[in-house]
Amino acid sequence: MRSVFIFLGLFLLSFQQSKSQNTDYAREILNTICSENYQGRGYAAGGADKTADFIAKELRKIRLKKFGKSYFQPFTIKVNTFYGNNTVNINGKSLIPGIDYLISASSPSLKGTFNVEIIDAALINEPLKFKKFIRSDFSDKVILIDTFGLKRESFNDAYQLITERNILKAKAVIKITRRNLVYAPSQIQKKFPLIIIKKARLPKNPKTVTINIDSKYYSNFETKNIIAYIKGKTDTSIVISAHYDHLGTMGKNVYFPGANDNGSGVSALLVLAKHFSKQKKLKYNIVFMFFSGEELGLLGSYYYSQHPLFPLSNIKFLINLDMVGSGDKGIKVVNGSVFKEEFDELVKINTENNYMPAVKIRGKAANSDHYFFFENDVPSFFIYTTGTYKEYHNIFDTPENLPLSKFNELTYLLTDFINYLQNDKKPDIEESNISSF
Ligand SMILES: [Zn+2]
């Protein structure tokens, strides 16, 4: 009797293991590319390059083909970056980077201790006082602006001029926020540092601020897309894409792990690449594209759309994945209403197999790497998961926090959908005379 139970137990265990196999592989990948060693997969600190090497190594293991001699497609970007241990102290109390404050990625270097001048609702609500205030000399001071309790609309233009253009010509500007901190990289370096501090973490009566920012601007920094494929019987291709870059560091002491954004998409692509590399006799090529420069403004996918390695018109369908690490509420499909036939099929597959809790439709949107393909007439979806996970562009988007709750199911749904695209009865795209493969 007992042996029957042991046998049953082993059977269930092995079944469960195979059920979570894709998630386990994704965890392995995330634990690597979101680790400190990969420095938030930013550009200048070398994290993106390390990630590119890691992805290429995985692609080599599963024997994906290259266009030409390398998986890499290099291109250049402009980017402002931080070196050193950037620090911010208020009244001598040091704040915690990433938790108490962020330094805007466009900030130049600055070192020193400065007096703080406060602009708040009390000051703005007294027009005479405010008028006098803004006529002072701020050239050796730091402006701290907190508009809590103010009718924002009336002050909006002035707020923009002070925080975005430093119209008061201060040494630096500090913005107080009551929202979550959200970091974004920058293609430009401005003339003044901008620091965003959480209200709850701001010491009382801020009088002095000590700032240490060490920036470097690159006008011609080389990064690369990674392109690999599995050969099919025709020149037509199905493309699966995801960006692998993330926000990098905010100085030596802080990096952004980017587990959901977009370690999850990279993991899904590698799972699919592994799966389809074992499949014989594909009708269409399956091309995997890992883009860089997404976080700076879709730069890698834009570059690819301008320098395609085979005609864009040979792409039958593109599926872009960006932030697919949750899913307890399902997925959303950008361009679903544009390519309704394919969307309906995706819903049908999902309903028949009970994979995701919901497949929701969206119209077109310029919010990820599918966009420049779509603008160049490539039929495409951008799929992302929805759920309770909310960490976004902060230091908490880590593999430990990321649930991957429906990751297996998503990879199954995508596999079935790619098989549908492989087998559909629609006439083929007219083959070009020049074979790129
Ligand atoms: Zn992002």
Average pLDDT value over all residues in the chain:
93
Same domain, residue pair 47 and 160: no
- Alpha carbon separation from 126 to 132, 149, 150, 154 (Å, rounded): 10, 14, 12, 14
Q: Is the pLDDT of residue 11 over 80?
A: no
Tell me how far the alpha carbon of residue 89 lies from the centroid of ligand 1, in angstroms: 28
Tell me how far the alpha carbon of residue 57 lies from the centroid of ligand 1, in angstroms: 24
pLDDT of residue 89: 97
pLDDT of residue 339: 98
Residue 15 lies in a domain: no
- The three-state secondary structure class of 86 is strand
pLDDT of residue 216: 96
Tell me how far the alpha carbon of residue 40 lies from the centroid of ligand 1, in angstroms: 11
Tell me how far the alpha carbon of residue 192 lies from the centroid of ligand 1, in angstroms: 25
* Bridge partners of residue 291, in order along the sequence: 243
Same domain, residue pair 304 and 405: yes
**Do residues 148 and 176 make contact, with C-beta atoms less than 8 angstroms apart?**
yes
pLDDT of residue 434: 41
Residue 8 lies in a domain: no
Same domain, residue pair 359 and 286: yes
Same domain, residue pair 196 and 90: yes
pLDDT of residue 199: 97
Residue 433 lies in a domain: no
pLDDT of residue 428: 59
Tell me how far the alpha carbon of residue 244 lies from the centroid of ligand 1, in angstroms: 10
Same domain, residue pair 260 and 210: no
Tell me how far the alpha carbon of residue 142 lies from the centroid of ligand 1, in angstroms: 30
pLDDT-based confidence at 417, cuts 50/70/90?
very high
Tell me how far the alpha carbon of residue 357 lies from the centroid of ligand 1, in angstroms: 24
pLDDT of residue 81: 95
| pTM listed for this prediction | 0.92
Tell me how far the alpha carbon of residue 353 lies from the centroid of ligand 1, in angstroms: 30
Residue 412 lies in a domain: yes
Same domain, residue pair 230 and 323: yes
pLDDT of residue 430: 53
Greater pLDDT, 433 or 271: 271
- Distance between CA atoms of 349 and 336, rounded to whole angstroms? 15
Q: What is the mean pLDDT of residues 280-286?
A: 94
Nearest to 224 by CA among 48, 19, 2, 24: 48
Which of these three, 215, 231, 246, is where a domain ends?
Answer: 215
Q: Is the pLDDT of residue 9 over 70?
A: no
Tell me how far the alpha carbon of residue 393 lies from the centroid of ligand 1, in angstroms: 6
Q: Is the pLDDT of residue 7 over 60?
A: no
- Which long-range contacts (C-beta less than 8 Å, at least 24 apart) are formed by 351-358? 353/412, 353/413, 353/416, 355/406, 355/409, 355/410, 355/412, 355/413, 356/327, 356/330, 356/331, 356/385, 356/406, 356/409, 356/410, 356/413, 357/327, 357/328, 357/329, 357/330, 357/406, 358/329, 358/330, 358/331
Q: What is the mean pLDDT of residues 40-51?
A: 95
Same domain, residue pair 348 and 390: yes
Q: What is the mean pLDDT of residues 249-268?
A: 96
Residue 13 lies in a domain: no
Tell me how far the alpha carbon of residue 166 lies from the centroid of ligand 1, in angstroms: 27
Domain count, the chain: 2
Tell me how far the alpha carbon of residue 365 lies from the centroid of ligand 1, in angstroms: 15
Same domain, residue pair 238 and 140: no
Tell me how far the alpha carbon of residue 265 lies from the centroid of ligand 1, in angstroms: 11
Tell me how far the alpha carbon of residue 186 lies from the centroid of ligand 1, in angstroms: 13
Q: What is the mean pLDDT of residues 259-282?
A: 96
Which of these three, 192, 215, 238, is where a domain ends?
Answer: 215
Tell me how far the alpha carbon of residue 226 lies from the centroid of ligand 1, in angstroms: 18
Least confident of 80-94, 140-154, 272-286: 140-154
Q: Is the pLDDT of residue 173 over 90?
A: yes
pLDDT of residue 427: 59
CATH number for the domain spanning 64: value is 3.40.630.10
CATH number for the domain spanning 179: value is 3.50.30.30
Same domain, residue pair 169 and 317: no
Same domain, residue pair 393 and 253: yes
Tell me how far the alpha carbon of residue 241 lies from the centroid of ligand 1, in angstroms: 15
Report pLDDT digits (tens) over 78-127. Answer: 999 998 889 999 999 999 999 999 999 999 999 999 999 999 999 998 98
pLDDT of residue 2: 52
Same domain, residue pair 347 and 410: yes
Tell me how far the alpha carbon of residue 263 lies from the centroid of ligand 1, in angstroms: 10
Give one DSSP letter per residue of 89-122, joined into a string: EETTEEPPBTTTEEE-TT---EEEEEEEEEEEHH
Boundaries of domain holding 240: 22-80+219-423
Residue 10 lies in a domain: no
The pLDDT > 70 percentage for the chain reads 92
Greater pLDDT, 150 or 342: 342
Residue 14 lies in a domain: no
Q: What is the mean pLDDT of residues 239-265?
A: 97
pLDDT of residue 67: 97
Which of these three, 186, 215, 244, is where a domain ends?
Answer: 215
pLDDT of residue 149: 86
Tell me how far the alpha carbon of residue 371 lies from the centroid of ligand 1, in angstroms: 15
Largest CA distance in the chain: 90
Tell me how far the alpha carbon of residue 246 lies from the centroid of ligand 1, in angstroms: 6
Greater pLDDT, 150 or 70: 70
Report pLDDT digits (tens) over 296-318. Answer: 999 999 999 999 999 999 999 99
Greater pLDDT, 302 or 44: 302
The pLDDT > 90 percentage for the chain reads 86
Same domain, residue pair 179 and 129: yes
Tell me how far the alpha carbon of residue 323 lies from the centroid of ligand 1, in angstroms: 8
Tell me how far the alpha carbon of residue 298 lies from the centroid of ligand 1, in angstroms: 10
Report pLDDT digits (tens) over 207-236. Answer: 999 999 999 999 999 999 999 999 999 999
pLDDT of residue 152: 61
Report pLDDT digits (tens) over 350-364. Answer: 999 999 999 999 999
Tell me how far the alpha carbon of residue 247 lies from the centroid of ligand 1, in angstroms: 7
Residue 183 lies in a domain: yes
Tell me how far the alpha carbon of residue 364 lies from the centroid of ligand 1, in angstroms: 18
